[in-house]
Amino acid sequence: MNDELKYLLTQTAQGKFSRRAFMGRAAAAGITAASASTLLASAAHAAGPQKGGTLKMGMGGGETTDALDPGTSDSPVPFSVGRTWGDTIVRVAGNGDLEPQLAESFESSADAKVWSFKIRKGVEFHNGQTMTVDDVLKTFQRHSNAESKSGALGIMQGIESIKADGDRIQFSLSTGNADLPYLLADYHLIVQPGGGMDNPNAGIGTGAYKIASAEAGVRYQFEKNANDWNADRGYFDQVEMLIINDSTARTSALQSGQVHMINRVDPKVARLLGRAPGVMIKNVSGRGHYVFIMHCDAAPFDNRDLRLALKYAIDRQEMVDKILDGFGGVGNDIPINAAYPLFDETLAQRMYDPEKAAVHYKASGHDGSPIILRVAEGAFPGAVDAAALFQQSAAKCGIPLEIKREPDDGYWSNVWNVQPFCASYWGGRPVQDQMYSTAYLSTADWNDTKFKSADFDTLILQARAETDLVKRKALYGQIARILHDDGGVICPMFNDFIDAVNEKVAGWENNPNAEMMNGYAAQQCWMA
C-alpha cells in the first residue's frame, strides 16, 4: 500500500474522508473490496472509539411476552436488552478472565467457602439514585428466592447466607466453590434499585444506556447514560433494537442498511452474506449448543430406553454438515465440550446407530404412536430443518416422530420448559458448574429436561468444592456419563455464534461466551 492510501486509510477511519472514496482509491490500486473493508475495520479499531450516532440492531429471538425483569430473561433479545441497561458485579471477558464491574475487587477464604466482594462507590442508577451495598444485597436475595422464578436460582442455592459488611457483600457457602465469581457474572443477576423487589420490570440499572421506550416483540430504544460510572463504553448517543425474528428479513435489513448489526445469522447463508458489499461476518466457536430436550418425568420420556432410542436415532454429523454448514461441531448429549476447563475427553462419542436405536425402542415398550417434537424456527437457526432431519433418521430406526411447528412468538413461554419434547438452545456458561447448576441440578428452576438424580446432585456439589484439579476433572467425568446415559438432553451440535455487522461498525471483539459479544456489542462498539 502506498503512502497516499495509508494516509487516506487513517483519515477514513477517523471519519475525515468518505468510505466510498477510499474504496474507489483502493480498487484503483488493485486492492479487493474485501481486503479494503478489512483494512478499514482494523484502522477504525486502532483509531480508537468515536462518540455519537445511533446504533440500530436487528435482533432475532424476541417475543411480545418478554419482560424487563432480568430474572426471567430466557432468550436472545431479553439477554441483549439486559446487557445494554444493566450491570452485574463482575463479568467474564472474551479471554475467560473475570473483570470487576459493580464490585471493584473480591477475595475468598482458603477453603473457598466465604467470599467477599468490595462494592464500587459513586455509582448512580438511571433514576438518579445512588447505588448502595443494600441494593446489591437485595438483588442477590431476590434471585435466591424461589418465588422470583429467576433463571439464576439454581446457581444461588449453594449459598447459605449473604450479608452486607460495610462496603462489602459477603457470601457464606455450604461447601467451597472456587467458581463463585463466575456464577455471579450470570446475566440474570443485574443489580437494580432495592434489588428489583418492588418492581423487577422497571428496567432501571447502572448500564451504559437508559431505556427510553420498550415495546416487547417490536422494538427497544435506549439513550446514553450521561452519568455512567464507566467512561470506557457507551459511545453511541442512542441505540435501537428492532425485533426481526424472520432470518431472511433480518439479513435483508442488514444488507439494505436498515440496521447495522444482526444476530443469529443462518449458517447456510453466512458465507454468501459475508461476500455482500459492506457486510462483515463475525463468528466464534465456544460453548453454545443446540438441543432437543425431553422431560424425564413425562410419558413416554420417563422411560430410559425410549430416551436412549432417540439419542441413537439422530445423525449428529449430518446436522453439523447440513444445518451448521461447518460453523460448529458434533455434540455428545451433554452440555459440555472441549471449550470448557476440565473437559473429560475420554467420554465415548455417541454415534448414529439404527440397530441400537431399534433395540432400545423395542425394550421401551412404546405403543408405536407418534412422538411429538415441537419446534419453531426461533428455537435456533435451522431448527425446523434440523427437526426434519431428525424425523428422517428416526424413521430409519422404526421410531415415529411427528413434527409440530409452533409460532415463534410465545415459544419460550408456552413451549420451552412446558412441553415434554421440543427444540431449544443454550448459550453455554463460562464454567461447568454453572452450566450444570443452571440447567441440570434437580432443584434448578431452569431444569428444562426435568432430570432429577440424587447421585448426580451430590457429584455436582462434590466437584464444586474440590480444589484438586485432577480429582475435580474426574468428578466432572462421572457427572457427564450420568447425563450422557440417563439424562433427557439430546445434544447433536455445538454452534458457532454467527453475527454480522456493517463495515462502519468498529470495536467488535470476538467473545466465545455468547452472541453479540456476550451481549455487550451496544456497549463496546462505535461507528467509525
Sheet holding 289-294, edge to edge: 328-330, 489-495, 289-294, 421-426, 371-375, 401-405
Same domain? For 438 and 312 the reply is yes
Same domain? For 423 and 455 the reply is yes
In this predicted structure, what is the pLDDT of residue 32? 66
In this predicted structure, what is the pLDDT of residue 527? 94
Q: Is residue 71 part of a domain?
A: no
Same domain? For 515 and 484 the reply is no
Q: Is residue 82 part of a domain?
A: no
Q: Which long-range contacts (CB under 8 A, 24 or more apart) does 274-279 make?
A: 274/500, 275/34, 277/33, 278/37, 278/502, 278/503, 278/504, 279/254, 279/255, 279/500, 279/501, 279/502, 279/503
Q: Domain tally for the chain?
A: 4
175: pLDDT confidence band, cut at 50, 70 and 90?
confident
pLDDT, tens only, 426-452? 999 989 999 999 999 999 889 999 999
The answer for residues whose C-beta is within 8 angstroms of residue 253's C-beta and 6 or more apart is: 58, 242, 244, 259, 262
CA atoms lying within 13 Å on the CB side of residue 483:
31
In this predicted structure, what is the pLDDT of residue 255? 97
**CATH number of the domain where residue 110 is located:** 3.90.76.10
In this predicted structure, what is the pLDDT of residue 149? 85
In this predicted structure, what is the pLDDT of residue 103? 98
Cis peptide before 267 (omega within 30 of 0): no
Cell of 513: 461466551
Same domain? For 346 and 249 the reply is no
Same domain? For 269 and 406 the reply is no
Does the structure show a pLDDT above 80 at 301?
yes
pLDDT, tens only, 20-59? 565 566 666 666 655 666 666 666 556 689 999 999 999 9
Helix, strand, coil in percent for the chain, rounding step 5: 35, 20, 45
In this predicted structure, what is the pLDDT of residue 154? 86
- Mean pLDDT across 308-323: 97
- Mean pLDDT across 144-167: 90
Q: Is residue 389 part of a domain?
A: yes
Same domain? For 447 and 392 the reply is yes
Q: Is 197 exposed, middle or buried (0-12, 13-18, 19+ CB in 10 A)?
A: middle
Q: Is residue 78 part of a domain?
A: no
pLDDT, tens only, 59-73? 999 999 999 999 999
Distance separating alpha carbons of residues 461 and 184, to the nearest angstrom: 17
Same domain? For 167 and 189 the reply is yes
Lowest mean pLDDT among 12-16, 119-123, 452-456: 12-16
pLDDT, tens only, 207-234? 999 999 999 999 999 999 999 999 999 9
Same domain? For 375 and 474 the reply is yes
367: pLDDT confidence band, cut at 50, 70 and 90?
very high
460: pLDDT confidence band, cut at 50, 70 and 90?
very high
Same domain? For 344 and 317 the reply is yes
Q: Is residue 312 part of a domain?
A: yes
Same domain? For 247 and 371 the reply is no
341: pLDDT confidence band, cut at 50, 70 and 90?
confident
Same domain? For 242 and 266 the reply is yes
Average pLDDT, the chain: 92
Q: In which domain, by residue range, is 433 found?
A: 289-495
364: pLDDT confidence band, cut at 50, 70 and 90?
very high
In this predicted structure, what is the pLDDT of residue 256? 96
